[in-house]
């Protein structure tokens, strides 16, 4: 079934094609779809290993080769065999009987222990005024502590938990096709829990359903009642009261008060003491490291860092000997609750609005049941990480110091330092820590989020959306090719089965974004719908970027290196003639790494930029895009037998490159490469460049928007203006992939860090002004030209 992919529908044939399309969908393409059970493949990469640099002991102790041979289980598949009873009545009541048999350990919240903690007692001693009675201040403070604890948590009710698990099981079976969990990952987590240290699960946040799905998964697998840290602004007071009885935790609003506020100091002390008692009792805790879906802001959640800070402090002060951190990832074929396309927050969810949302999801997703993959990565010791992570910290500079002189042509040297870019606002619990501990919490959050994203499975809709977006012509063959390329890079896929059924399943889920028509000889014509549907496909294809990020960065760097030598539309053979120096490649890779946001790269803090540049070059060579150019009389690049390695270099720690190694690196910097002339290289090179095109084109159009923008304005105002400009430009050139609110706000923040926009205080709040450095048209054109050199047409 070779399919022909187009960019847009012809206007004069739209009405007739709609009729043919409707008949095609009803003729069996989506209605007679076979159920595709993912993860039946026997040979697939085992992902989720912890960092060997930061946690080498955990890397060895909590993993065994035998767990790689364990298969997958469907968590929501409950039958008669899953209960202790048998019979026809049991088959009809198996969900209810299964919920009654769940073991729910007792969870007691101890306000008295919180009151007696060292932090709270220290605050109480500072609250006592001169001449006050002995019992007056403690009674008043006790009431305040009980009020804060009542807002934060409540003892979980076993009856409500069983009733809730039964309702969730029925809801998930109506909404989802399956929820797959690797039994080897589950065995690693159970082994870590049996060691005696509390579990802290740090998860991505792709859907609001994650906060319900993950506690259900852990309870169904016998890992106890998961305490989930939720955002209090997303729920109404009545719904918060119900969720607290189900084990949900809410951060008191007083924790964000100023550091000199007595109420804020007490609230933060109560939160720290409550988290310490929760860890001492051994209850597992779930923290979302990403912002809720649809939130147009930084990727790393300020609320997640606020909850992670007391966990780190509890281990540092010795309240608990250690805590086991478990990176978690949840991936969907298609996210049930679609993200919002505005910069405004959603209203709080109440009981009635929540019930209506459930009914709407069941009605709207009828016939479009999706597959879900829950991934529990290898746990690692927090104590081990904190003792090893500080040795990897180096010097840092702002984006303005790194890139602005190069953009304006004032300098050509890229500083050999790391980029300092923090978009996540500092919350009250994190601000109360020392600056060194704040940096530790931030880097820990980025490190764990990198592990969670690296272990996320690539779903069938992601691969199909990428093929449709990049206009590949043979859909079945390219689907198989892209799946193999993803597996070769150590990323798992969330599907298996017959290729034709997989493509049909993905097409049925994406029917709102694509048009499927019959052509001659029984072939099919698959066309991506123009307009906002392309932005949705771009959003899905962005899930593929982590798997090909190194190659995509390298391809864009090569494109920038060739931009001044070869015409962009020149033949591939002409581009392959040019020699590419390794030093020049390193420079272009570093420039692109500094330009791209940290939220997209999520580089491990324990790795230096030079290590990542070397990895990018190695990936380009491994995938066959670059070929080493051997000059006559020189030693071959693959000949390492005659290299003279000193003792210092042999035992140098990873990432430690000092001036004593300059001779070795000077020899490596003299190497040259050419683009490979294999037949598959031009298409693969274009595919890699297009993975980063939406973001880079949004940045380039933001540079073109500067003379048209109405400044000064707030950050959200600037982002809204830029989004309108991107949408208007997309109507002209048909490139709707960059007309996305998240890309607009990233462009505004990047330009602010680069010094293009300056933030000034005003009575109405912080306002963004155009910097005098970029007020001239010449500077703006240099900025746009600098960005466009990385874009491949």
Q: Are residues 359 and 489 in the same domain?
A: no
Provide the pairing of β-strand 626-629 with 672-675: antiparallel
Predicted confidence at residue 569, as pLDDT, reads 63
Q: What is the dihedral of CA 303, 307, 309, 315, to 10 degrees?
A: -170
Residues 486 and 361 in one domain: no
Q: Are residues 185 and 324 in the same domain?
A: yes
Residue 84 and residue 162: Cα distance in Å, rounded? 17
Is 171 buried (19+), middle (13-18) or exposed (0-12) by CB count in 10 A?
middle
List, in sequence order, every beta strand (DSSP E) within 544-702: 580-581, 626-629, 672-675
Does residue 246 share a domain with residue 358?
yes
User: Tell me, what's the pLDDT at 347?
Assistant: 66
Question: Do 462 and 375 belong together in one domain?
Answer: no
Q: What is the pLDDT of residue 658?
A: 44
352 and 468 both lie in a single domain = no
Q: Which domain holds residue 722?
A: 693-789
How buried is 496 (Cβ within 10 angstroms: 0-12 exposed, 13-18 middle, 19+ buried)?
middle
pLDDT at 1: 39
At 412-430, the pLDDT tens digits run 888 878 888 888 888 888 8
CA dist 376 and 184 (Å) reads: 9
Q: What is the DSSP string of 482-543?
A: HHHHHHHTT--BS--S-HHHHHHHHHHHTTTTEEEEE-GGG-EEEEEPSSHHHHHHHHHHGG
Domain boundary among 494, 526, 543: 543
Whether residue 357 sits in one domain with residue 479: no
Contact 370, 509 (CB under 8 A): yes
In a domain, 33, yes or no: no
With respect to residue 539, please indicate whether it lies within any of the assigned structural domains.
Answer: yes
Q: Which of 751, 750, 744, 791 is nearest to 771 (CA)?
A: 751
DSSP result, 192-232: HHHTTPPEEEEE--S-TTHHHHHHHHHHHTT--PPEEEE-G
Q: What are phi and psi of 760, to 5 degrees?
A: -125, 145
Tally the domains of the chain.
Answer: 3
CA angle 577, 581, 583 (to 5 degrees): 160
At 313-344, the pLDDT tens digits run 999 999 999 999 999 999 999 887 655 555 55
Q: What are phi and psi of 290, to 5 degrees?
A: -105, 155
Please tell me whether residues 384 and 515 are part of one structural domain: no
Distance CA 777, CA 165 (A): 61
**Residue 553: what pLDDT?**
95
Q: Is residue 445 one of the residues assigned to a domain?
A: no
pTM: predicted TM-score of the whole model, two decimal places: 0.86
Which H/E stretch holds residue 325? strand 324-332
* CA distances in angstroms from 767 to 359, 401, 777, listed in the order given: 42, 22, 22
Residue spans of the chain under pLDDT 50: 1-42, 130-131, 133-136, 640-666
Same domain assignment for residues 360 and 461:
no
399 within domain boundaries: no
N- to C-terminal Cα separation, the chain:
29
Domain containing 716 — which CATH number? 1.10.10
Would you give the DSSP letter of residue 256?
G
φ and ψ of 713, to 5 deg: -160, 165
> According to the model, what pLDDT value does residue 521 have?
66
| Same-domain status, 180 and 103 | yes
User: Residue 600 domain-assigned?
Assistant: no
**What confidence score (pLDDT) does residue 343 get?**
56
Where is the domain boundary, 543, 568, 599?
A: 543
What does the pLDDT read at residue 522? 62
One domain, residues 372 and 495? no
Both 241 and 360 in a single domain?
Answer: yes
Q: Does 272 reside within a domain?
A: yes
| Residue at a domain's end among 543, 577, 603 | 543
Is 430 within the bounds of a domain? no
Task: Say if 291 falls within a structural domain.
Answer: yes
Phi, psi of 46 (to 5 degrees): -90, 105
Q: In this structure, are residues 183 and 70 in contact, taking their beta carbons and an 8 Å threshold?
A: yes
């Amino acid at each position: 079934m070779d399919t022909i992919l187009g960019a847009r529908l012809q206007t004069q044939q739209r009405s007739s094609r709609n009729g043919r399309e409707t008949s095609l969908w009803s003729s069996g393409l989506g209605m007679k779809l076979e159920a595709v059970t993912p993860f039946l493949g026997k040979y697939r990469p085992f992902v989720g290993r912890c960092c060997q640099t930061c946690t080498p002991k955990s890397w060895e102790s909590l993993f065994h080769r035998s767990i790689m041979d364990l298969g997958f289980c469907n968590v929501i598949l409950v039958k008669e065999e899953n209960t202790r009873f048998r019979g026809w009545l049991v088959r009809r009541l198996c969900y209810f009987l299964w919920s009654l048999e769940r073991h729910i350990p007792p969870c007691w919240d101890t306000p008295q222990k919180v009151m007696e903690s060292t932090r709270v007692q220290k605050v109480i001693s500072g609250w006592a005024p001169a001449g006050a009675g002995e019992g007056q201040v403690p009674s008043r403070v006790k009431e305040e502590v009980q009020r804060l604890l009542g807002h934060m948590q409540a003892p979980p009710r076993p009856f409500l938990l069983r009733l809730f698990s039964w309702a969730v099981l029925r809801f998930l079976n109506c909404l989802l096709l399956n929820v797959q969990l690797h039994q080897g990952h589950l065995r690693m987590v159970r082994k870590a829990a049996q060691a005696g240290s509390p579990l802290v699960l740090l998860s991505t946040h792709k859907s609001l359903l994650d906060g319900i799905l993950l506690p259900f998964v852990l309870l169904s697998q016998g890992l106890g009642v998961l305490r989930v840290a939720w955002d209090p602004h997303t729920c109404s007071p009545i719904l918060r009261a119900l969720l607290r009885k189900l084990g949900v935790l809410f951060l008191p609003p007083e924790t964000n008060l100023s550091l000199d506020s007595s109420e804020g100091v007490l609230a933060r002390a109560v939160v720290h003491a409550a988290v310490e008692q929760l860890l001492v009792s051994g209850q597992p805790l779930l923290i979302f490291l990403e912002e809720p879906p649809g939130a147009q802001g930084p990727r790393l959640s300020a609320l997640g860092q606020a909850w992670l800070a007391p966990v780190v402090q509890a281990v540092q002060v010795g309240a608990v000997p250690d805590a086991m951190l478990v990176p978690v990832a949840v991936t969907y074929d298609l996210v049930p609750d679609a993200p919002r396309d505005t910069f405004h927050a959603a209203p709080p969810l109440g009981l009635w609005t929540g019930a209506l949302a459930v009914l709407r999801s069941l009605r709207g997703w009828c016939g479009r049941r999706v597959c879900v993959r829950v991934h529990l990565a290898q746990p690692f010791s927090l104590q081990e990480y904190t003792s090893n992570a500080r040795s990897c910290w180096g010097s840092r500079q702002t984006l303005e110091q790194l890139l602005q002189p190069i953009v304006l042509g004032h300098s050509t040297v890229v500083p050999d330092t790391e980029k300092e870019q923090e978009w996540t606002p500092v919350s009250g619990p994190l601000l109360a820590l020392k600056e060194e501990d704040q940096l530790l919490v931030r880097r820990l959050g980025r490190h764990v989020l990198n592990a969670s994203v690296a272990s996320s499975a690539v779903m069938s809709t992601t691969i199909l959306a990428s093929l449709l977006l990049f206009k590949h012509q043979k859909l079945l063959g390219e689907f198989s090719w892209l799946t193999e390329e993803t597996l070769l890079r150590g990323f798992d896929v969330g599907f298996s089965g017959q290729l034709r059924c997989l493509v049909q399943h993905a097409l049925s889920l994406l029917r709102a974004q694509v048009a499927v028509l019959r052509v001659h000889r029984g072939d099919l014509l698959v066309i991506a719908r123009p307009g906002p549907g392309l932005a949705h496909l771009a959003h899905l294809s962005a899930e593929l970027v982590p798997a090909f990020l190194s190659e995509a960065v390298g391809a864009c760097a090569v494109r920038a290196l060739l931009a001044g030598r070869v015409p962009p539309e020149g033949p591939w053979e002409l581009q392959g003639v040019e020699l590419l120096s390794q030093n020049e490649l390193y420079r272009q890779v570093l420039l692109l790494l500094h330009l791209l946001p940290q939220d997209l790269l999520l580089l491990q803090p324990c790795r230096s930029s030079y290590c990542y540049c070397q990895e990018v070059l190695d990936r380009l060579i491994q995938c066959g895009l670059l070929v080493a150019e051997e000059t006559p009389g020189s030693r071959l690049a693959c000949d390492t037998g005659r290299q003279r390695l000193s003792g210092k270099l042999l035992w140098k720690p990873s990432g430690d490159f000092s001036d004593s190694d300059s001779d070795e690196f000077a020899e490596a910097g003299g190497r040259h490469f050419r683009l490979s002339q294999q037949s598959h290289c031009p298409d693969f090179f274009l595919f890699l460049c297009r993975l980063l095109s939406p973001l880079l084109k949004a940045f380039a159009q933001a540079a073109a928007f500067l003379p048209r923008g109405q400044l000064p304005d707030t950050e959200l105002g600037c982002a809204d203006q830029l989004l309108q400009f991107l949408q208007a430009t997309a109507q002209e050139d048909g490139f709707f992939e960059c007309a996305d609110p998240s890309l607009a706000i990233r462009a505004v923040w990047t330009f602010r860090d680069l010094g293009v926009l300056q933030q000034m205080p005003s009575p109405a709040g912080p306002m963004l002004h155009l910097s005098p450095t970029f007020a001239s048209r010449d500077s703006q054109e240099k900025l746009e030209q600098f960005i466009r050199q990385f874009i491949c047409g």
